[in-house]
Amino acid sequence: MITIYGIHNCDTMQKAIKWLDANKVPYTFHNYKTDGISESSLRLWLQHFPASKLINTKSTTYKALTDEQKASINNPDKAVDIMLQNQSIIKRPVWDLGTGSFYLGWNEEELSKLIL
């Protein structure tokens, strides 16, 4: 079963969910704004994606970080702390494809190849 992580009111998340529904792909949605996100999930994701990709460096949340915090995102422990404190800084969506593989972001063509 696919689990898709993100924030429900995000435009990209809404596209992804609409696409999953249209293609009748079973999935679970984990809203880390309301359900939180675990440190273990973040550490697992950091095994698959560099922190500089997992943290949305174009977000207003990232831009509000101090220069010291921005400089520390390549340190896994500090990146986890930043993401735990600011879930909206995590790039969306994060896809757990249920097969031990993960995908980050939204690209319909790539996801079609992986899922359909």
* Residue range 94-115, pLDDT digits in tens: 999 998 999 999 999 999 999 9
* Residue range 50-82, pLDDT digits in tens: 999 999 999 999 999 999 999 999 999 999 999
Domain ranges of the chain: 2-17+25-115
Assess contact for 6 and 101: CB atoms under 8 A: no
Average pLDDT, the chain: 95
Indicate the burial class of 58 (C-beta count within 10 angstroms; 0-12, 13-18, 19 or more): exposed
CATH of domain 2-17+25-115: 3.40.30.10
Does residue 33 surpass a pLDDT of 90?
Answer: no
pTM score over 0.85: yes
pLDDT of 107 reads 96
Catalytic sites, residue numbers = 10
